[in-house]
A and B are shown apart, each in its own frame.
Chain A
Amino acid sequence: MTALASSLTEQKQASVSPPLWLLAELTYRCPLQCPYCSNPLNFAQTTSELTTEEWASVLRQGRETGAAQLGFSGGEPLVRQDLGELIAEARHLGYYSNLITSGLGLTKAKVDDFAQAGLDHIQVSFQSSDPDLNNAVAGSRKAFAQKLAMARAVKDAGYPMVLNFVIHRHNIHQMNDIVALCERLGADYVELATCQYYGWAFRNREGLMPSRAQLEKAEYEVNQNRARLLDEGSAMKLIFVTPDYYEERPKPCMNGWGSLFLTVAPDGTALPCHSARLLPIEFPNVRDKDLKHIWYESPGFNHYRGNSWMPEPCRSCDEKEKDFGGCRCQAFLLTGNADNADPVCSKSPHHDRILAARQAAECATASIEDLTYRNDSNSRMFFRG
């Protein structure tokens, strides 16, 4: 490298901060079939997963690049038989490691082994506070009982407990029950995450999106519960992620493209967010390049850094430092061009698509059985064409 080239590289690196978060999507395999899964529609096409050695090397490179938080997710990360090994490697490297799991495939012995290996936290996801609804959404008859048992095992092993519920029109009426269940289980954090419409959730949007009245009632109930918990001095924290489809300004997606988050997909594709794969952009692979190069130098990660790429109305908007023009994936899914302003923004010329989705949510009638379940055979339909 010439002196000039290397000083340019240093300058560029100085303006880009290191990634804080590494999300390791170990596999797309999963025993459940959630119709809001954020995995790509054609996930079944991915056959070549990174090996244990390749993942260990990704973890090392991520840590060297500055990441402190590590998420093991998927798919269902427990499908990987080498998870314990990777947890130990993560601890050795100094990560704070989070296992994001459906609870299926977990056992009490594994919960204890992982703690020994240095896992910091296990997040168990539920589909509902009600066993029947939970199992209908998950597409598995034994899911709820297993999740309950594993949530208890996580608590018994002394981990901090985060329970995650993806919220949609079929369970949004359950806020009080969900909070009560979480209190019984002794959760420290409860994530009530309304569906974000990417991947399978975008495909199923009409059948998932709550109406405004549903949303307002849920928000009210969450606030009531929050006030009560505060009053009781409870440390349990409710995190309610509201759907941006009911906002007039977009979310500052991923805190800015390539600013904090680095995802590595099962086949080694490196992404600035877990749904970015759907964009018509070429993303680098950890099999070809090291993570530091990927983060600072790759065209994929630099594509939407800064704001010189913005067209109007974002280009001349005084809010662009605040929301970065919103989500690129949402812009692409709703307008066909990822450069556009996120249509959630009321200044976007495509905002009518959001209004139409809200309208549709007012009169949606689809039941759970009408949703397209996330499974291998449905996935194959998306790449056979």
Chain B
Amino acid sequence: MVTANPATNAVTTTNIPRFRRGFRFQWEPAQNGHVLLYPEGMVKLNESAGAILAEIDGQRCVRDIVAVLEAAFPQADALESDVIEFLEHARQQHWIELS
């Protein structure tokens, strides 16, 4: 499977992220946190990672996701660069895909 070169395809505000097929994001009571489940594996997410991934619905672009998060966490400063940085990490891990 060949996707675009990771070095030249970084996340921008107009991208629409969605979870890669086979990746399931959910709340796990036993872990008291959000997790990402994938074939034979699981990542436990910290609170901010969980909050960002919870907004991915395959419809909204990064800019909209940032706006939702900024409204939900008004005490935080501008979130755009943090969100993009995390989504870039998620993309490099092949957790999410962009369109």
Q: Which residues of A contact B (CB under 8 A)?
A: 18, 20, 65-66, 68-69, 71, 94, 96, 98, 120-121, 123, 158-160, 162, 183, 186-189, 232-237
Asked whether any CB of chain A lies closer than 8 Å to the CB of B3, the reply is yes
Q: Answer whether residue B59 sits at the interface, using C-beta atoms and an 8 A cutoff.
A: no
Closest-by-CB residue of A relative to B26 is A94
Is B37 at the interface (CB under 8 A from chain A)? yes
Question: Which residues, 1 to 29 on B, are CB-close (under 8 Å) to A?
Answer: 1-7, 9, 20-24, 26, 28
Which chain A residue shows the least CB distance to B29?
A66
Which of the segments B38-46, B48-56, B68-76, B82-90 contacts the partner chain? Answer: B38-46
Q: Is the CB of B1 within 8 A of A160?
A: no
Partner of A120, one of B3, B35, B37: B37
Given contacts A18-B30, A68-B30, contact A120 B2 (CB under 8 A): no
User: Once the chains bind, are A96 and B42 in contact (CB under 8 Å)?
Assistant: yes
Which 4 pairs between the two chains have the least Cβ-Cβ distance?
Answer: A160-B22, A66-B30, A96-B37, A121-B39
Closest to B36 in A: A96
With known contacts A233-B4, A234-B1, A234-B3, A189–B21 Cβ distance under 8 A: no
Contacting residues, chain B, for A158 (C-beta < 8 A): 21
Q: A100: nearest residue on chain B (CB-CB)?
A: B40
Contact of A233 among B6, B39, B42 (CB under 8 A): B6
Cβ contact within 8 Å between A186 and B39? no
Query: A68 to B6, Cβ gap below 8 A?
Result: no
Q: Using CB atoms and an 8 Å cutoff, list the residues of chain B in contact with chain A.
A: 1-7, 9, 20-24, 26, 28, 30-31, 35, 37-42, 94
Task: State whether A233 touches B2 (Cβ < 8 A).
Answer: yes
SS class of chain A's interface: helix, strand, loop or mixed? loop
The CA-CA distance from A20 to B4 in the complex, in Å, is: 34
Specify which of B20, B21, B28, B30 lies most central, judged by the most chain A CB atoms within 10 Å of its CB. Answer: B30
Q: Are A68 and B35 in contact (CB under 8 A)?
A: yes
Interface residue from B5, B24, B31 paired with A96 (Cβ < 8 Å): B24
Could you tell me if B3 and A68 are in contact, using CB atoms closer than 8 angstroms? no
CB closest residue in chain B, given A232: B2
Across the interface, name the chain B residue whose C-beta is closest to A19: B30
Nearest-neighbor residue (CB-CB) of A121 within chain B: B39
B5, B6, B22, most chain A CB atoms within 10 A = B22
22 contacts between A and B (CB under 8 A): A20-B42, A66-B30, A68-B30, A68-B37, A98-B40, A120-B24, A120-B39, A121-B22, A121-B40, A123-B39, A123-B40, A158-B21, A159-B22, A160-B20, A160-B38, A162-B40, A183-B1, A232-B5, A233-B9, A235-B1, A236-B1, A237-B94
CB nearest to B35 among chain A residues: A68
Question: Which of A69, A96, A120, A186 has its CB near the most chain B CB atoms (within 10 A)?
Answer: A96
CA of A66 to CA of B9, assembled, Å: 38
Query: With the chains together, A385 CA to B9 CA distance in Å?
Result: 63
Q: Do the beta carbons of A160 and B39 come within 8 Å of each other?
A: yes
Contacts A160-B39, A234-B2 given; 4 further ones with Cβ under 8 A?
Answer: A96-B42, A121-B22, A159-B21, A237-B94
Give, as a whole number of angstroms, the nearest-CB distance from B97 to chain A: 9
Residue of B nearest to A67 (CB): B30
